[in-house]
Amino acid sequence: MSAPSPADFVPSEDNLDPADWEAFRAIGHRMFDDMVDFMAGIRERPVWQPMPVDKRAELKAPSLPHEAGSLNDTYDAFQRLVAPHIAGNIHPRFLGWVQGGGNPVGVLAEMLAATLNGNLGGRDHAPIEVERQVIKWSAEMVGFPETTTGVLVTGTSVANLIALLVARTQALGIDVRKDGLAGHKLVAYTSPATHNCVLRAMDMAGLGTQALRLIPYDARHQIRLDLLTEAIATDRAAGLQPFMVIGTAGAVDTGAVDDLAALARLCKQEGLWFHVDAAFGALAMLSPAQRPLLDGISEADSIAFDFHKWAQVPYDAGCVLVRDGEKHAAAFSTHVNYLKRETRGLAAGHPWPTDFGPDLSRGFRALKVWMTLQVYGADKLGQVVANCCDLAQQLAARVAAEPELELLAPVALNVACFRFKASNKPLDALNTDIVIALQESGIAVPSTTNVNGQLAIRAAFVNHRTRAEDIDILIDAILETGRRLG
């Protein structure tokens, strides 16, 4: 419960700072105390609860607020209307999609970063050195060499797009940046386990989604090397230009990891760019038990991954790494007068982050990553990864032991796909209804996916707060709901 409201915020007459910094301090302390309670009590809250119609209506303003308002009232609206109706991914029983749980050190880092209000597009200042350090640590994590460059972005969707543009520029030569793609015959390869953002990257890069060949996977959901080799030969014979293979390390549906070492060898033989979408899987490099699954990732030309998933950094923080930094800059660096580089002064520090991606202005995302890594240490994050994978195995064992449930895909990493089967009703619709009922109950949030044509209840273990007891709560709720609806 909050302490009584402090005196309201009053801005200075001539700028946006408070007229009274001590009053501002009191308001801030109260907010911080409330957020500590919120984090500490998260397990006791519903995972998710739909936002009621009246609250949605209350949040809708009739027009742009022109007059000054009250900070205390605005904060009250945040507490009543916003905070109770979050998606719930900080909760230990949020198991839907693949979402990170955030962490308290990251919360503090967000406040520090906002205070400095850094713009990390370029120039010579310490926040960029922090980002460079994060990129260096990331390269070390995946076994990339000193030549590696990288940049923090919103997420793996953008990181994949950046990697694709680097690979495209390598394949067609730097003139593609001026001439465009006219008449290109580029084709790329991945498996149907790929994330939709890879298709979107093909679309946004102008290559078209049809130029992405979806090579079937085997029973373990790993791309079939024999069919991949065949497809490359067929495309070459047809006069097309194969240029890139996208391996998946942690498929979004099942957690499957491609045979990355074999893909790396094949790409070397065929002269193709080897990119790995390791959105959450990359963090498995920090866990000795899971690391062998990613053998070969250090041979890639580029890797995309997220800090906001398994590394528990608050949203948003994704990363792209390119093994050969010169190739990375070749795809993005430009020279314009107002961004001229110097060897001294604030315009020093070449190359700048803007040379490695589409953004110019960028926030100080790196601080929350840097602080999370410094304070918890990579080994502890690796333990979170190992624990999540253990939980997925425990869930699979519990599913196998329950006659009313069945497992729909092997558990490779941290994702389990299963369904309630003890009903004569159509199972796809029934399992969809079970998941929705569970979400609405606030007890647990799994999501759904389709595995080999069957609707699956999907539980992804990503959150550092999840424990073994949460699996029992989830399964008991699924059995109870299945029996009731089935």
Ligand X SMILES: *Cc1c(COP(=O)(O)O)cnc(C)c1O
Given the complex with ligand X, which of 23 and 199 has the nearer CB atom? 199
Shortest spacing between CB 53 and ligand X, in angstroms: 29
Coil, helix or strand for 419?
strand
- Going from the C-alpha of 414 to that of each of 97, 317, 385, 391, 477, the distances in angstroms are 11, 21, 8, 7, 20
Given the complex with ligand X, which of 163 and 232 has the nearer CB atom? 163
Given the complex with ligand X, which of 252 and 444 has the nearer CB atom? 252
Coil, helix or strand for 405?
strand
Torsion of CA 45, 50, 54, 59, to 10 degrees: 80
Given the complex with ligand X, which of 389 and 478 has the nearer CB atom? 389
From CA 92, how far away is CA 105, in angstroms rounded? Answer: 18
Shortest spacing between CB 279 and ligand X, in angstroms: 3
The site for ligand X, by CB under 6 A, has a size of 13
Q: Report which secondary-structure segment, H or E, holds 226.
A: helix 225-237
Q: Which stretch binds ligand X (CB under 6 A): 239-247, 275-283, 382-390, 446-454?
A: 275-283
Shortest spacing between CB 348 and ligand X, in angstroms: 32
Cβ atoms of 294 and 285 closer than 8 Å: yes
Given the complex with ligand X, which of 24 and 217 has the nearer CB atom? 217
Cβ atoms of 186 and 243 closer than 8 Å: yes
From CA 429, how far away is CA 437, in angstroms rounded? Answer: 12
Given the complex with ligand X, which of 176 and 415 has the nearer CB atom? 415
Coil, helix or strand for 303?
strand
Instruction: Tell me which of 215, 256, 279, 438 binds ligand X, using CB under 6 A.
Output: 279
Rg (CA), the chain: 24
Given the complex with ligand X, which of 191 and 466 has the nearer CB atom? 191
Shortest spacing between CB 162 and ligand X, in angstroms: 12
Shortest spacing between CB 315 and ligand X, in angstroms: 9
From CA 267, how far away is CA 192, in angstroms rounded? Answer: 19
If one asks whether residue 359 binds ligand X (CB under 6 A), the answer comes out as no
Q: Fill in the per-residue mask, 80 to 119: x = in contact with ligand X (CB under 6 A), - = not in contact.
A: ------------------x---------------------
Instruction: Tell me which of 235, 301, 306, 470 binds ligand X, using CB under 6 A.
Output: 306
If one asks whether residue 157 binds ligand X (CB under 6 A), the answer comes out as yes
Burial (CB count <10 Å: 0-12, 13-18, 19+), residue 383: middle
If one asks whether residue 152 binds ligand X (CB under 6 A), the answer comes out as no
Question: If we measure between CA atoms, which residue out of 284, 7, 282 comes closest to residue 160?
Answer: 282
Instruction: Tell me which of 277, 299, 355, 470 binds ligand X, using CB under 6 A.
Output: 277
CA atoms within 13 A on the CB side of 307: 31
Tracing tokens 């050195």 back to the chain, one arrives at 129
Instruction: Tell me which of 27, 166, 223, 252 binds ligand X, using CB under 6 A.
Output: 252
| DSSP bridge partners of 153 | 318
Q: Which residue is nearest to ligand X (CB)?
A: 155
Instruction: Tell me which of 101, 150, 242, 318 binds ligand X, using CB under 6 A.
Output: 318
Shortest spacing between CB 363 and ligand X, in angstroms: 16
Q: Which stretch binds ligand X (CB under 6 A): 6-14, 25-33, 122-130, 151-159?
A: 151-159
The terminus-to-terminus CA distance of the chain in angstroms comes to 41
Given the complex with ligand X, which of 157 and 287 has the nearer CB atom? 157
DSSP string, 61-105: -SS---S---HHHHHHHIIIIIGGGS--TTSTTB-STT-----HH
Given the complex with ligand X, which of 165 and 430 has the nearer CB atom? 165
Binding site for ligand X (CB under 6 A): 98, 155-157, 195, 197, 250, 252, 277, 279-280, 306, 318
